[in-house]
Amino acid sequence: MSDPKNKSYIVVSEEELSQVFAEWERRFREKPDEFQSEMNRLANDYKTTGEFQAAYLVKLIAEVLPANSSVEVPE
């Protein structure tokens, strides 16, 4: 988890965010076992549901919108 003093921001348009959430939904629908496995892995790395879902969202932004160089994918 990042230091709260070192906040970072991701700037995406509503259209780009819509693309990212569409991909989230597609993965959930088409490969539920793989999706759940990824959620379980992330849940072990973070303290709250919000934290690990935010990490997953950032990961998807980096994958779906690779031109957005300001995105750092959590490991």
User: Residue 36: its pLDDT value, please?
Assistant: 93
In this predicted model, what pLDDT tens digit does every residue of 15-71 receive, in sequence order?
889 999 999 999 999 999 999 999 998 889 888 999 989 889 988 998 888 776 566
- Count other C-beta atoms under 10 Å from residue 53's C-beta: 15
**Above 80 in pLDDT, residue 73?**
no
1: in domain: no
**Assigned token pair, 44:** 């072990």
Q: What does the pLDDT average to over 9-18?
A: 85
50: in domain: yes
21: in domain: no
The whole-angstrom separation of Cα 73 and Cα 33 is: 22
The structural domain count of the chain equals 1
Q: What does the pLDDT average to over 8-15?
A: 82
Range of the domain at 39: 35-66
pTM for the whole thing? 0.74
